[in-house]
Structure formats: C-alpha cells, structure tokens
Chains A and B, each alone.
Chain A
Amino acid sequence: MTSLLAASGPSLYWYLTRSTGAMALLLLTIAIALGVIDVQRWSTPRWPRFLVDSLHRNVSLLAMLFLVLHILTSVLDSFAPIGLADTIIPFIGSYRPFWLGLGAVAFDLILAVIITSLLRQRMGFATWRAIHWLTYASWPIALLHGFGTGSDVKSTWLLLLSIGCTAVVVGAVLTRVLAGWPANLRLRSAALGGAGAFSLFLLLWLPNGPLGSEWARRSGTPSSLLPHSHLSTSGGR
C-alpha cells in the first residue's frame, strides 16, 4: 500500500489530505447538526429518537476516522514539513505554525469529546456533558485551520462548502439558543454573540486573509517552499 502510494508520486498524499480535510469538515458539521436535533428531542414515528442518536454517534466516529486519515496523509506527504507531533501539540511546527496549530487544538478537543463519549457510562453525566460542550469551541477552530492552511480555499467548491457548513452550524446554535429562551439568559446571549461575532469576523477577515494576495507567505509557509514572487502566489504549491 505504502509503496503503491509512493510510486504514484508524492502528490497522492496531498490529494488525500485535502479531500479528507474537506470530508472531515462536512462530517463534523453533520455531527453537530444531528447533536442539536438530538438534544432538541425532535422525532417522528418514522424517525425515532434513537435513530437520530445513533446517527449522531456514527457520523461523529466517521468524522474521527477522516480526521485521522487527514492527519496521517498530511504527515506522509513530503512537500510540507509536518511531523506527527505538530499535528497533536499545537504551534510547534515549521509549516504555517499558527494555522496548523489550530488544527491540532481542534483535533485534541474533538479527541477528548469522542473518548469521553465512548467511556460515557464510566463517568458522571455532568463531567461528560461539560467536556461535550467543547465541541462548540472545536468547530470554529477547525474551520479557521482549514481557511489558514487549505490549498483549495480560493476554489469555489471549498468556499461554498465552508459557507454552507458555517450556515448549518450557526443555524444549529441559533436553534438551541432560541429554544426555551430566555432561560440561562447570560449563557444564551454569549452563544448568540459568539456565533454573530465569528460570522462577522469571517466576513471581514477572509477577503484580506486567505482570499487575499500573498497568503501563503503571510501564513508562515517556510520560504524555501514558496514560489518565486513573480509566479503564482495562490497557495504555496
């Protein structure tokens, strides 16, 4: 398997790490949407609650699988100097350290959420739920990691996917915030403000950030990997 991948050139890992990253974004988004549908206790006779619950679980595990593939292929790809430690310990790498580090933070958070969910029966309900709330922090961090390191950020399909996923997650947060409003007024206001501030930040940051010029250099790509300035500045590759 390894020799087959190596034989067909280093770019196969690069294709894999991009596609698994995009799949992970999509699956994490679906997992969050299902989680909110689950916690809102939505059900119909044809679509009972345990179905939503099992789907939420299985989609989350599938997302984890894609995250692991995404990480392994990014390490195996020889173009970007990414070590295994860089993908777990944030901000220590040499390739776009801040933006790769956000990916490591998101992965660590998601790992904690998944492990505590698998061991749910062995821990207290309150502890499990407190850790499960980290999901809401992990998703925007993972999205920023995608915008900061992604080679496809300027392509329409990934931009549309990212915008669509953001809309779904913001919608999920709004659904949860507005249900039962105004109990826990402070917490719900914070969630509302957070979702709004994040959306506004994306709108202001993207045009001059990853969608602007020279992002590969500004995001911390090692200069040896950058194309010469009179050539393309689109993605560092």
Chain B
Amino acid sequence: MSHRVRINPIKCEAHGMCAELLPERITLDEWGYPLLDETPLHGSQVEHAIRAARACPTFALLVERERSARSGRARAPVPG
C-alpha cells in the first residue's frame, strides 16, 4: 500500500499552503500553482501530506491510497 499526492487543478486557486507544508513533494510555479512529485510518499511524509491536504483552503490537494496490484481495488482518497 502506498500513498501519493494529487492535485485537482480545477479547484486549485494557488493559495500555496501545500508547498509550505510539504516542500519535499510540492513546489510552486511562477504563478503560484503547485508542481507535484507524484511518486509514492515515504512513510514519514504521509502524515505531512495529509496535513497539507487538510490545510488546502479549496480542498484541491488529495492524498490517495494505492493498494498493491493484487488486492484489486484501485485508488481511494484518504479521509481528511
């Protein structure tokens, strides 16, 4: 089971809170919109990612749980 961050670009309004709270994975482009590293999060980063997702004023940042290929279920958002 692995976690990844994803962005909903329609909801995102470039508040930039996520880049402050998860700089390991999120940087901002020149207009303040996030650029994500969507490779699986390391264990200790998951907690910070969830915190960043909760802080997003427009709920645009998602932390998704991805189970291993065998278990069948695809992506499910982590409850905020």
Chain A interface residues toward B at CB < 8 A = 41, 48-50, 53, 121-122, 125
Contact = CB atoms under 8 A, between A and B. Distances in A.
Interface residues of B, number: 12
Among the interface residues A41, A50, A53, A125, which one has the most CB atoms of the partner chain B within 10 A? A50
Contact of B59 (A41, A49, A50, A125): A125
Contacts of A48: 20
B72 interface: no
Given A121-B59, A121-B80, A125-B59, A49 B54 contact: no
A125 B17 contact: no
A89 to B, nearest CB: 33
Secondary structure dominating the interface of A: helix
A43 to B, nearest CB: 8
Q: Which 7 A-B pairs have the closest CB atoms?
A: A121-B80, A48-B20, A50-B20, A49-B17, A50-B17, A50-B21, A50-B55
B16 interface: yes
A121 B55 contact: no
Nearest to B58: A125
18 contacts: A41-B15, A48-B20, A49-B15, A49-B16, A49-B17, A49-B20, A50-B20, A50-B21, A50-B55, A53-B17, A53-B55, A121-B54, A121-B79, A121-B80, A122-B80, A125-B11, A125-B58, A125-B59
Contacts of B79: 121
Contacts of B80: 121-122
Contacts of A125: 11, 58-59
A159 B17 CA distance: 38
A121 B21 CA distance: 18
